[in-house]
Amino acid sequence: MKGIVFTEFLEMVQAKFGFEMVDYIIESSDLKSKGAYTSIGTYDFGEMLQLISHLSQKTTIPKETLIFEYGLYFFNYLEKAYPYIFEQYQDPFSFLKSVENHIHVQVRKIYPDAELPTFDVKEINSNQLEMIYYSKRALYKFAEALIQKTFEHYHKNCTVTLQMLKKDGTEVKFEIDHD
Ligand code: HEM
């Protein structure tokens, strides 16, 4: 997992829960990196799982909620870091439809070791898009948050319905209704 995902995560933890919480979750985890992340480095995804688990235990907020919150936060970084990508699309459906075949393809060119999900995207009609998420990291709540924020970015409303195709969250279907 790319360092930027760790540095932004710890920044969010600091903003929402304070610096002591950042210290606590790093100290309670067994991290090869010792918690010293750089945005351009690459680290073991297991470290992120440990950090989220400890944050969840300490705050008693479910992991799914924290991952969703983190997706909302990470989107703000994407908007700031990649404004030219957003400018290439005029509406949320065309943006979402290109994540798999264009956006993440570009990301992989910049970071060949990026660990990205796979999406199967089907436009049912002009008001409904179906996205099936596949990833062994099971960060479907992160994906759901990015989908919601994409609509906010384009000042549009949507309803996202989630259906677990596999219990462990490695395959999840999103039905996205544009209203
Ligand atoms: C400007 C647009 C976007 C950029 C530049 C971008 C870039 C990235 C980057 C750098 C990562 C981290 C890879 C790693 O840690 O190795 C990532 C992960 C991820 N991205 Fe995107 N992304 C964008 C939009 C989206 C959107 C709209 C979605 C959802 C529909 C999405 C879904 C995900 C998910 C779920 C992950 C976590 C990894 C996983 O689930 O396996 N991304 N993306």
**What digits encode the pLDDT tens for the residues 116-169?**
999 999 999 999 999 999 999 999 999 999 999 999 999 999 999 999 999 999
175: helix, strand or coil: strand
Q: Is the pLDDT of residue 72 over 90?
A: yes
Ligand 1 centroid–CA 151 distance in Å is 16
Q: Is residue 15 part of a domain?
A: yes
Ligand 1 centroid–CA 117 distance in Å is 7
Ligand 1 centroid–CA 91 distance in Å is 18
Rg (the chain; Cα; Å): 16
Say if CB 4 and CB 77 are below 8 A apart. Answer: yes
DSSP 130-171: EEEEE-TT--HHHHHHHHHHHHHHTT--EEEEEEESSTTSSE
Closest ligand 1 atom to 174 CA: 30
Look at the chain and report how many structural domains it folds into. 2
Give the pLDDT confidence score for residue 179 in this predicted structure: 80
Tokens of 90: 């005029």
> Residue 109's pLDDT band (boundaries 50, 70, 90)?
very high
Q: Is residue 67 part of a domain?
A: no
Ligand 1 pocket, Cβ-based, cut-off 6 angstroms? 1-2, 5, 78, 82, 85, 96, 99, 103-104, 107, 114-117, 135, 137, 139, 142-143, 146-147, 150
Range of the domain at 8: 3-61
Residues 130 and 50 reside in one and the same domain: no
Residues 83 and 27 reside in one and the same domain: no
Q: Is residue 72 part of a domain?
A: no
- The residue contributing the CA closest to ligand 1 atom 35 is 143
